Chain A
Amino acid sequence: MSAMIEVQVTDVRQLTPVVREFTFVALDGTLPGFSCGSHVQVVLPIEGRTLRNAYSLMSDPRETGVYRIAVRLQEASRGGSRYLHEQVRVGDRLRIGVPSNLFALHSQAHHHILVAGGIGITPFMAYLAELEARGASFELHYAYRSGLTDAYGDELRERLGERFHGYDAAAGQRLDCTSLFAGKPLGSHLYVCGPQRLLDELKLLASAHGWSAGRLHWEAFAAPEPGQPFTVELTRSGQRLQVPGDHSLLEALEAAGVEVPNLCRGGVCGQCTTRYLSGEVEHRDHYLGEQQRGEALMPCVSRGGCSGTLLLDL
């Protein structure tokens, strides 16, 4: 990433035992504006390595001058969320990237159906501010576990009234995904942010109900899954790198000083697509087609095989 911004943490709030909210202001000048659904990469200097995790901006896009993110502590974390939860205090400085948006509101939608699973509520906090300001037609479906992942639940219930639909797993309530598709007006668009299984279920149901894929908008941030260590060779510079099992290929490249343009770091945006010349590839992205996979991979999530060397056109 080229443009980085130095920010200072001006507020930290513990919202639930596992969700912590951070407020940032720019150290110099002002923060760039953003549209709802945007995210930023946050640089996290943890022991022995640097992580760049993407977090949705959840503040009101009209409120200029501050960014807010909410971070869920991940059990099987690589250390990024733990660092934010345990190390970062008010007054600390962090480096973040500029906002980019891979999860924008559909400009022609007549009705917006927002579906959040747990910490997936964060992009919708900015959405809700925008939709309320526009006087748009919308409904929020929020699946959570009370006392754990119900950040903003009480506030939203009060603020949104009958447009709020909460499902508390701790009380045995379940979101019935089929009901989301019944009787919705023609201009409806559905946005989902949450675990992969929720997204997969909604995709299947949307298609079964005759909804075109263009009505379904989704975002799923997940840290790259670990894998086997492998070796990669860069043909242009002749460098050979060992990629440890708990590093993504993109991280290994960055650690070696090779900058690859990237946005989502989660296998969806296609920005980091890189050509490879030979070697076995374990494709884990949601972006490349079968044909493209024969000669390109997305280093943010995909990995080389453990036998042999992956040859990259870098």
Chain B
Amino acid sequence: MTASSAEPLFSTPRYAAEASRHSASRRIVVAQQARAAVALLDDPAPTLLLCLGETLTTSADQESLPSIETLYLRLQMLLERAEAGTRLYISGDESFLWHVYRLARHAGLLADEIELFKQGSRRRLYCVHCTHFQDIGEEGECNCVQCGVKLLVREHFSQRLGAYMGVCIDPDRPYAKAVQA
């Protein structure tokens, strides 16, 4: 089993470095950290920034939400009333990006109307043995916190689940020696 190769897998997400210049009738920027999204606000189309915690001292329309749950809810409400022609820009770690992405697709946005900007290293892992989701960092191996199987983190990413696939690393000794806390 080779976990590394020169070419990334087709399913491994690629993230943009800067916003495209697609025309939009309205833009929504969703950011875990407002500071990281400053460059995304520079566009002539009406733009709303939705972020967590601190706000920016710019003239752009912005709303700061006190928690991640309220941010998701607020975005859902906005998308329900949004019109076709809206584009979405998401900035944050991979767990956040793909949660928001799936929410937006469900609301009717198409894949090419959503742009993703990755910050930080948190990402979501899906245990293919017990279907549990957990957040991990850049590590290539970890233990499933639900079933305890020692997992290899594959670079294969599921957009539908918003997660990387974790598979048993050693079928002869599936469980990690140490008991999980």
Known contacts A181-B84, A210-B85, A187 near B108 by CB under 8 Å: yes
Task: Kindly state whether residue A236 has any CB partner on chain B within 8 Å.
Answer: no
CA distance A187 to B79 in the complex (A): 10
B11 in the interface, Cβ–Cβ < 8 Å? no
Instruction: Report A192-213 residues with CB < 8 Å from chain B CB.
Output: 207-213
Residues of B within 8 A of A184 (CB): 83-85
Q: Determine the chain A residues whose CB is within 8 A of the CB of B25 once the complex forms.
A: 209-210
Instruction: Answer whether residue B169 sits at the interface, using C-beta atoms and an 8 A cutoff.
Output: no
Interface bin, chain A: 10 to 19
CB distance from A125 to the nearest CB of B (A): 25
Considering the chains assembled together, what is the distance between the CA atoms of A208 and B25 in angstroms? Answer: 8
Residue contact B84 to A186, C-beta cutoff 8 Å? yes
Query: Is B24 at the interface (CB under 8 A from chain A)?
Result: yes
Are B110 and A215 closer than 8 Å at their CB atoms? Answer: yes
Name the distance in Å between A208's Cβ and chain B's nearest Cβ.
Answer: 6
Task: Tell me the nearest residue of chain B to A188, going by C-beta.
Answer: B84
Interchain CB contact (< 8 A) of B85 among A109, A110, A211, A213: A211
What residues on A are CB-neighbors of B63 within 8 Å? none
CB of B107 within 8 Å of the partner chain: yes
B22 touches A210 (CB 8 A): yes
With A and B bound together, what is the CA distance between A210 and B87 in angstroms?
Answer: 8
Task: Check if B23 sits within 8 Å of A208, measured CB to CB.
Answer: yes
Chain A, 51-97, CB within 8 A of any chain B CB? none
Q: Tally A-B pairs: CB < 8 A.
A: 54
Inter-chain CA distance A186–B87, complex, in Å, is 10
Closest B residue, CB atoms, query A108: B108
Residues of A within 8 A of B22 (CB): 210
CB closest residue in chain B, given A186: B108
Name the A residues within 8 Å of B112 (CB-CB). 212-214
- Contact A183–B108 (Cβ < 8 Å): no
Contact B85 A181 (CB under 8 A): yes
CB contacts under 8 Å to A, within B8-35, are: 22-26
Closest chain B CB from A180 CB (angstroms): 10
Least CB distance from A55 to B in Å reads 30
Does any Cβ of A come within 8 Å of B113's Cβ? Answer: yes
Check A187 against B23 for contact (C-beta < 8 Å).
no
Check: B109 CB closer than 8 A to any chain A CB: yes
Select from chain B the residue with minimum beta-carbon distance to A207: B23
Pick the contact of A186: B24, B107, B111 (CB < 8 A). B107
- In the complex, whether B158 has a CB less than 8 A from a CB of chain A is no
State whether the Cβ of A185 lies closer than 8 Å to any Cβ in chain B.
yes
**Minimum CB distance partner of A110 in chain B:** B108
Residue of A nearest to B27 (CB): A210
B45 at the interface (CB under 8 A from A): yes
Q: In chain B, what residue has the closest Cβ to A214?
A: B110
8 A-B pairs whose Cβ atoms sit less than 8 Å apart in the complex: A181-B85, A186-B80, A186-B86, A188-B108, A207-B23, A210-B22, A212-B110, A212-B113
B contact set with A: CB distance below 8 Å: 22-26, 45, 79-80, 82-87, 107-113
Q: Told that A186-B84, A210-B85 touch, could you supply 9 new A-B pairs with CB distance under 8 A? A: A109-B108, A110-B108, A185-B84, A186-B80, A186-B109, A187-B108, A210-B22, A210-B25, A210-B26
